[in-house]
Amino acid sequence: MDVVTAPVLFNRKETESVRRLGLAYDALSRGARAARFVMLAFEDPSRHLIPRPFSISDVWTRDDGTVVTEFLYKPIGRVTGLMCGLREGDGLLVGGLLGNGFPFPTDGRRPVLMAGGIGNAPFAYQVRELAAGPEATDPSRIVLLLAGRSAADVWIQEDARAAGITVVEVTDDGSRGEAGLVTDALLRRLEDLGPIEAYGCGPEPMLRAVSDLALEHDFPCWLSVEERMACGYGVCNACVVEQRCDDTERGEGWFLKSCVEGPVFDAREIHV
């Protein structure tokens, strides 16, 4: 794994529950794709032992030529808590880029991006990729369904709307956009959207619901899973997901490592 020390450019509060970290880290020359990730660690090993995985959230180039790679993170424990204290000029160890990214839609299918909570993270870059690539002529074909528990958990909508993307906000408590589940919001539109290809990132129950919907209505669907990881490059087996098996001779009980074979999987390939 390629590990470098990347200087912090900014580290600011995005909403009550989420922060945005910008590093001088060139994800472009390392093959940036939405949902690919890095392992982040502090240089001082006494602060924590195991690096933590984070999806690249956005990548752009400053006027002075510096490539800025952004991460959205939610402080929930030891390392994300320490990350809140990072200041401009501090260094962070970055291992990557790792994993596979979301593929482009096939056969002109309309891309539907479904984000839950901190699962918003990879979609800013996916929107950028699609709007510069297959959907360049009409970015409003890209449908971004942003879901969270409440308004503070939904936060990339302004940039996406400004880029001409069709954005639907959904919150459990109805404090922003439609009330309910992201899968209900999709179901209400499914017929009008025509052939779609779906992309999901979020908590496990949401991914399971998205996967069930895709299998039931038979549209292609890619899920970015967030299993706990230790090494990030395929040696510790901490991150396995169970493979679906239609082959009775082979039998059940086969696993895939989400750090190297994922984190993006075809919904037909795994049990969420």
For ligand FES, the closer of residues 82 and 256 by Cβ is 256
Find out whether 214 and 272 touch, Cβ atoms under 8 Å: no
Residue 77 binding ligand FAD, by CB under 6 A: yes
Stretch that binds ligand FAD, among 108-116, 150-158, 206-214, 227-235 (CB under 6 A): 227-235
Tell me, rounded to whole angstroms, the distance of Cα 123 from its chain centroid: 6
| Closer CB to ligand FES, 50 or 68, in the complex | 50
231 is a contact residue toward ligand FES (CB under 6 A): yes
**What is d(CA 221, CA 264) in angstroms, rounded to the nearest whole number?**
10
- Contact status: 230 vs ligand FES (CB under 6 A): yes
Establish if 15 lies at the interface with ligand FAD (CB under 6 A): no
**Which of 208, 211, 209 lies closest to 221 in space, CA to CA?**
211
Number of residues that bind ligand FES (CB under 6 A): 12
Q: How do the residues of the chain divide into helix, strand and coil, expressed in percent and rounded to 5?
A: 20, 30, 45
Q: Cβ 262 to ligand FAD, closest distance in Å?
A: 8
Amino acid letter for position 17: S
4 is a site residue for ligand FES (CB under 6 A): no
Q: Which of 229, 267, 270, 272 binds ligand FES (CB under 6 A)?
A: 229
3-state DSSP assignment of residue 12: strand
State how beta strands 178-179 and 166-171 pair.
parallel
CA distance 165 to 187: 19
Strands 221-224 and 196-201: parallel
By CB under 6 A, is residue 228 in contact with ligand FAD?
yes
Residue of 113, 239, 264, 272 that binds ligand FES (CB under 6 A): 239
Which CB atom, from 156 or from 165, has the smaller least distance to ligand FAD? 156
DSSP state of 152: G
Q: How many CB atoms lie within 10 A of CB 32?
A: 20
By CB under 6 A, residue 227 contacts ligand FAD: yes
Q: How far is the CB of 67 from ligand FAD (least distance, A)?
A: 18
Footprint on this chain of ligand FAD (rule: CB under 6 A): 37, 52-55, 71-74, 76-81, 118, 121, 226-229, 263
